[in-house]
Structure formats: C-alpha cells, structure tokens
Amino acid sequence: MNILAYIIINNMTFYKVIRKVRLLPYVYGVEHIDVLKNHCIIDIETTGLCGNRDIIICYGLLDIEKERVVIYFLEEPRKHNEFRKFLRTLTLSLIRRKRVWAYNKIFEEIFLNVDGLMELLCYRDLYQIKGRAKMDYVYSHVMFELAKMFKDNKEFMDILKWIFEECKKDKTPNCSIPDVYIYEWVFNNNDVGKMKIIEHNYADLLKEYIILYYMAYKTFNILEEIFKEERYVLGEFVKRVEKIFM
C-alpha cells in the first residue's frame, strides 16, 4: 500500500511515497535475532554520473527496523539544490543513528556530499559471487542461493517470493531513468513517468536488502565456524567482522 504525500521543508514542497514492506525472518540464531535492526539502505536516482553537473531526482530509504520504504521525488527540477541539501541533512542524521548501506557508496557519497556509508558492492567477492559487479547480477545470484537454502521454510519462501514479485514490477532499466525524467516528467508532466522512477528506486532498495540479508547470514555462519574451530587464533578478526553488523 502506498501513502502519498507532499512534505514542506523550509517552504519547499517535495513529493513523498511511504510503503510498508515484508522483510525476511532472522535465522542466524537467537543471539543475533536483531542483527539488522539498526540498519537501513539508501538509493538515489540521478540524471547522470557526474556529481558536479547532474542532479538527484529520487531518493529512497529502506528502514529495516520500521519495515518501510520512504521515497522522495523531485517534481520541480529548478529546486534540485534545495532537494540535495534536504537529502544530505536527512542522510547525515541517519548516519549518526544507524548503519547506512548503499550498493556503490562512492556514488551516493559524491552526490550527497557525505561520508560514512557502508558499501554492499565491496562484499561481492567475499561471498563467492563471481562475475560482474552489476547489482542485478548479484541480486539474482543471492536470490537463487537463498531459495536453495530455505526452500523448506514456508514463511521464509513466502516473503522471498513476495520480494521477487515486487522487484519484477520494475520495467525501467537503470540507464533509461534520465530520459524518463526529462521526457516523461519535465517535458510532459506525466505521472506515469514519475511512478516509473519511483518503482525502479523501490525495486533497487528491495534488491539491496536481499544482498545485505545474505551478507549478514553468511557472515554469522562464518563466525560460527571460527568460534568452533579457531576462536583463540582469530578472535580479533571476529570482532572486526562482527563490528560491521552489531
């Protein structure tokens, strides 16, 4: 269900979408039941790749603790500087309170002018995900791995299927987002174009959540083996890895 609203920040109006989402149950063990509770994921859509020239047109936030997605959309392109300042303030506030993840953190950090994001992309090889770093490839690999591991867990599989179906609703390639914004929204003020961008951002957030969940699951499986076999040797390593999530 969507909750649609216009929010006013310092006399500026921005379009906001709120969606409740279904998140996967924790299966690492009782001691790690809330391991991702204090984590969130952000994702931005822009008109290009240059932080000095291009602008942010959409910003999504998946808050794991609240089990919801909030998406902000820039309806008035002339207000892009104000929009960016608002999003920077929001992101800095999140970083102070939570672990904030992005798929390719350098991209978000440049556009938002922030530091301190956690990166999903850099963990690709750690978990034996071979091939391209493109998010759709990593997401597909992780989705398949999770489906294999938990195929007998009905609750888990129902939610995994729901996330898969939600992601499939996005029909807009990432490379088409600038054209959709310029032609369908700026030139023609078409709500369909606006919703294409919002749906794409929403799907990206869900895909990144699946990758983060898999990372956390694999990490604590690795830690479990370390504790069993070589705890006295690798104690410092355990502390460092655990610091990522706890």
Res. 246: pLDDT tops 70: no
Residue-wise pLDDT tens digits, 148-177:
999 999 999 999 999 999 999 999 999 999
Please answer whether residues 205 and 62 qualify as being in contact, where contact means their C-beta atoms are separated by less than 8 angstroms: yes
Give the residue numbers spanning the domain of 91: 2-245
Res. 41: pLDDT tops 70: yes
Q: How confident is the model over 100-109, as a mean pLDDT?
A: 94
pLDDT band at 33 (very low <50, low <70, confident <90, very high): very low
Give the span between the Cα atoms of 215 and 209, in whole angstroms: 10
Residue-wise pLDDT tens digits, 107-161:
999 999 999 999 987 665 555 565 556 888 889 989 999 999 999 999 999 999 9
State how many domains the chain has.
1
Res. 192: pLDDT tops 60: yes
For the ranges 24-28, 81-85, 116-120, the lowest mean pLDDT is seen at: 24-28
Give the span between the Cα atoms of 243 and 246, in whole angstroms: 5
Q: How confident is the model over 174-197, as a mean pLDDT?
A: 95
Res. 186: pLDDT tops 90: yes
Residue-wise pLDDT tens digits, 214-236:
888 887 776 666 666 655 545 56
Give the CATH number for residue 51: 3.30.420.10
Give the span between the Cα atoms of 191 and 178, in whole angstroms: 15
Q: Give per-residue burial for 188-227: e unless 16+ CB within 10 Å, then b.
A: eeeeebbbbbbbbbbbbbbbbbbbbbbbbbbbbeebeebe
pLDDT number for residue 220: 73
Q: How confident is the model over 90-111, as a mean pLDDT?
A: 95
Res. 209: pLDDT tops 60: yes
pLDDT number for residue 30: 41
pLDDT band at 7 (very low <50, low <70, confident <90, very high): low
pLDDT band at 10 (very low <50, low <70, confident <90, very high): low
